[in-house]
C-alpha cells in the first residue's frame, strides 16, 4: 500500500526524511569526529606543544575558559601596565574589537533591510516592520504612551546587546584570543550602563529642569507641611539619590555576571562531555542571552520614564491641586434673569 502511494503516474515519489533521524545522524557524526580527533590529534595543555601530557579534565577546562580580563589586541600605552578586571589602560581589547564587528553587522543589516521601503511591503519590509512594531508594542505596553518617544533607544540597546551576547556562541569568537563576546567583559557592560545612566539623568534634567529634578531627591518644600514631614521627605529623597547611583552598577553587573557565568558553564560542560549536552546548553544560552538583552533595555526604558516623572505637584504638568468651580450668586442677574434661573434653563 505504501509503495503504491509513493508511485503516481509511473513515477516514484521520494520518501520524506524524519527530522529526528537527521538530528540523530548529526549527533553520531559529531561523536565520531570527536573520537577520531582525540586519537589522531590528541589534545595538549593551553600554551603547550603537541605531545605534552594532558591532564583531564583540568587542562580541558583551562583551554576552554576565558579569564575575566580581556586580551589586549593593540596596546596604545606600552609603557603602562594593564592590571585588574576593570581597566583604565588605553588599549584596544578583544571585546572592543568584537563590539565594533557587532555594531557593523547590526547597522549594515538594518540598512539593507530598511532600504527601498514601499507602500506595498514585501517579505523583507514586513520582517523589519514586524520586528520594530513588536519592540514598540512591548515598550509601550510597559511604559504607556510616554514610552513611545524612547523606543528607538530601547530598540538600539536591545539589538546591540542581543547580538553581542549571541556572538560568544558563534565560532571563532571565544576560540581566538583576538575575538570575544563584548558583554562577557565587565568594562563593556560598565560602559553601556554609564551611557544609559547619562541618558536618563539628562532626560530628567531637561524635562523637569534642574530645580524640579533635584527636588525629587531634596524635597525641601515638604517642610511647609511640618518638620516631621520635611525630615521624612529628606530621608526618603536621600535613599532615592543613593539608589540612583546604584542603577548603573546593577545594570552592568547583572549583564556581565550572567553572560560570563554562562560562558564558564558552557566551557566546563564542553570539556567534560561531548555532543548532546553542549548542544543543549548552547540552545539554553541563546534563550538566556535574549532575556538578558531584554532586561537591560527594559530597565533603561523604565529608569528613563521614572526620571522624567515629577514626584511633587510643583513639577511641570503635575498640577494636582483641586480647583473649585465658581458658584453663581443667586442675586446676580444674567440675561435679565436670576443666576439660578439662568443655569436651570441651560
Give tens-digit pLDDT for 195-234: 999 999 999 999 999 998 998 888 888 888 888 888 998 9
Angstrom CA distances, 247 to 153, 258, 304, stand at: 17, 17, 11
pLDDT digits (tens, 9 = 90+) for 22-34: 777 877 777 787 7
Q: Are 96 and 192 in contact (CB under 8 A)?
A: no
Q: Tell me, what's the pLDDT at 26?
A: 75
Rounded to whole angstroms, the Cα distance separating 320 from 286 reads: 47
- List the single range of 35-39, 168-172, 294-298, 315-319 with lowest mean pLDDT: 315-319
The pairs formed by 134-143 with CB atoms below 8 angstroms and a separation of 24 or more are 139/298, 139/301, 142/298, 142/301, 142/302, 143/301, 143/302, 143/305
Q: Tell me, what's the pLDDT at 46?
A: 74
Q: Are 259 and 181 in contact (CB under 8 A)?
A: yes
- 189 grid coordinates: 557592560
Rounded to whole angstroms, the Cα distance separating 346 from 337 reads: 12
- 50 grid coordinates: 603537541
Tell me which DSSP letter residue 173 carries.
B
β-bridge mates for residue 243, sequence order:
none
Confidence of residue 276 (pLDDT cuts 50, 70, 90): low
Q: Are 121 and 143 in contact (CB under 8 A)?
A: no
pLDDT digits (tens, 9 = 90+) for 150-188: 999 999 999 999 999 999 888 888 878 889 999 999 999
Q: Tell me, what's the pLDDT at 77?
A: 80
- 19 grid coordinates: 527530522
Q: Mean of the pLDDT values across residues 255-261? A: 92
The mean predicted confidence, pLDDT, of the chain is 81
Helix (H) or strand (E) holding 11: strand 11-12
Task: With H, G, I as helix, E, B as strand and everything else as coil, classify residue 12.
Answer: strand
Phi, psi of 91 (to 5 degrees): -160, 165
Q: Tell me, what's the pLDDT at 274?
A: 63
Q: Tell me, what's the pLDDT at 247?
A: 94
- 78 grid coordinates: 606600552
Confidence of residue 316 (pLDDT cuts 50, 70, 90): very low
pLDDT at 4 over 60: no
Confidence of residue 273 (pLDDT cuts 50, 70, 90): confident
Rounded to whole angstroms, the Cα distance separating 278 from 269 reads: 6
Q: Mean of the pLDDT values across residues 3-30? A: 64
Rounded to whole angstroms, the Cα distance separating 83 from 91 reads: 12
Confidence of residue 312 (pLDDT cuts 50, 70, 90): low
Q: Residue 316: count other Cβ atoms within 10 Å of its Cβ.
A: 11
Higher pLDDT, 136 or 114: 136
Confidence of residue 338 (pLDDT cuts 50, 70, 90): low
Strand 72-75, strand 333-334: pairing: unpaired
Q: Tell me, what's the pLDDT at 125?
A: 84
Amino acid at each position: 500500500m505504501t509503495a503504491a502511494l509513493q508511485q503516481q503516474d509511473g513515477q516514484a515519489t521520494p520518501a520524506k526524511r524524519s527530522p529526528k533521524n537527521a538530528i540523530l545522524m548529526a549527533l553520531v557524526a559529531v561523536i565520531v569526529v570527536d573520537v577520531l580527533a582525540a586519537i589522531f590529534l590528541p589534545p595538549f595543555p593551553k600554551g603547550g606543544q603537541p605531545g605534552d601530557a594532558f591532564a583531564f579534565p583540568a587542562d580541558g577546562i583551562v583551554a576552554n575558559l576565558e579569564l575575566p580580563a580581556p586580551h589586549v589586541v593593540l596596546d596604545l600605552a606600552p609603557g603602562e601596565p594593564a592590571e585588574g578586571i576593570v581597566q583604565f589602560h588605553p588599549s584596544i581589547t578583544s571585546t572592543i574589537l568584537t563590539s565594533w564587528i557587532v555594531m557593523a553587522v547590526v547597522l549594515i543589516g538594518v540598512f539593507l533591510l530598511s532600504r527601498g521601503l514601499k507602500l506595498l511591503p514585501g517579505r523583507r519590509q514586513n520582517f523589519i516592520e514586524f520586528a520594530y512594531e513588536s519592540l514598540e508594542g512591548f515598550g509601550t505596553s510597559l511604559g504607556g504612551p510616554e514610552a513611545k518617544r524612547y523606543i528607538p533607544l530601547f530598540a538600539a540597546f536591545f539589538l546591540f546587546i542581543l547580538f553581542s551576547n549571541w556572538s560568544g556562541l558563534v565560532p571563532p569568537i571565544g576560540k581566538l584570543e583576538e575575538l570575544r563576546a563584548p558583554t562577557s567583559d565587565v568594562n563593556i557592560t560598565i560602559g553601556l550602563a554609564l551611557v544609559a545612566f547619562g541618558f536618563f539623568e539628562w532626560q530628567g534634567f531637561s524635562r523637569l529642569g534642574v530645580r524640579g529634578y533635584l527636588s525629587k531627591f531634596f524635597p525641601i518644600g515638604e517642610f511647609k507641611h511640618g518638620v516631621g514631614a520635611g525630615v521624612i521627605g529628606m530621608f526618603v529623597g536621600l535613599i532615592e539619590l543613593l539608589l540612583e547611583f546604584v542603577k548603573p552598577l546593577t545594570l552592568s553587573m547583572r549583564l556581565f555576571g550572567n553572560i560570563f557565568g554562562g560562558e564558564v558553564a558552557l566551557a566546563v560542560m564542553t570539556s567534560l562531555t561531548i555532543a548532546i549536552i553542549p548542544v543543549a546548553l548552547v540552545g539554553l544560552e541563546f534563550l538566556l542571552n535574549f532575556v538578558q538583552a531584554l532586561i537591560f533595555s527594559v530597565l533603561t526604558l523604565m529608569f528613563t520614564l521614572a526620571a522624567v516623572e515629577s514626584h511633587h505637584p510643583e513639577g511641570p504638568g503635575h498640577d494636582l491641586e483641586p480647583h473649585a468651580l465658581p458658584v453663581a450668586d443667586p442675586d446676580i442677574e444674567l440675561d435679565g434673569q436670576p443666576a439660578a434661573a439662568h443655569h436651570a434653563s441651560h
